[in-house]
Amino acid sequence: MSQALETVVNETGADPQWSVIWLHGLGADGHDFAPIVPELVREHWPAIRFVFPHAPVQPITINNGLPMRAWYDIVGMDFRSRADSAGVAASVQLLDGLIEAEIARGIPAERILLAGFSQGGAVVLSSALRRRWPVAGLIALSTYLPDAEAAAAAAATDGPLPPVFMAHGQKDPVIPQDVAVHSAKALKELGFPLEWHSYFMAHQVCAEEIQALGDWLDARFR
């Protein structure tokens, strides 16, 4: 998983001053969340480059080894150990490469936001604990922090911590909401400023969530 990732790119205006790197969930691809841009973006916002990468294709253990796009293998149902830690670490490195590419294009880390849904959000949260980049914020949708206790114990929390927008479905059958709540608590205890939202939905995104996320982003762009 050392290859450069192919991406879907959507720029909302000329000469973008901000970037949002958005990681999809298991079995999807970079096109999955691209349609959210016109629903999310507001007229008065600065020009933004949305980067939607395609995860590598790899076999997934709980799906009988079926190859699909994934940020890491899922080896079981126990949320304390289901995420392949080596795979998560490899995807964090891939995310680092995407951040470096945006910095090379003239966007400072302080104007880069990291977003992810489900598996993608797990990688985003894992990346944030390493504190390599002083990013502007984290968006974690229908996701959790893999092995929250161990991750929190190893976290680098020196310096200001980025704000987090975290949202989840009360009826999520893939990642139960209490797992996400536990992750949110761990992040708050580390000092992350975290805004939590819960919606009457399954493993998905809803209109109310997009509105709330837009409000949260609006505060970042001021």
pLDDT in tens, 47-82: 999 999 999 999 999 889 999 999 999 987 776 667
Task: Give the type of residue at 188.
Answer: K
R_g of the chain computed on alpha carbons = 16
Which candidate, 68, 66, 81, 78, places its Cα nearest to that of 26? 68
The percent helix, strand, coil of the chain (3-state, each to 5) is: 35, 25, 45
Dig out the tokens for 89 from the structure.
């670490």
d(CA 73, CA 70): 7
Instruction: For the chain, give the longest Cα–Cα distance.
Output: 48
Dig out the tokens for 131 from the structure.
């504190």
pLDDT at 131: 77
Which candidate, 60, 57, 55, places its Cα nearest to that of 95? 55
pLDDT at 2: 44
Q: What does the DSSP 8-state code read for residue 99?
A: H
Distances (CA, A) of 24 to 45, 95, 143, 155: 24, 12, 11, 24
d(CA 6, CA 101): 12
pLDDT at 156: 66
* pLDDT average per 10 residues of sequence, the chain (222 residues): 79 96 97 96 97 96 93 81 84 95 96 97 92 91 85 70 96 95 93 96 97 97 87
What global pTM score does this model have?
0.94
pLDDT at 1: 41
Give the active site residues.
Answer: 118, 172, 203
d(CA 127, CA 131): 7
pLDDT at 132: 81
d(CA 106, CA 16): 9
Task: Give the type of residue at 116.
Answer: G
pLDDT at 84: 83
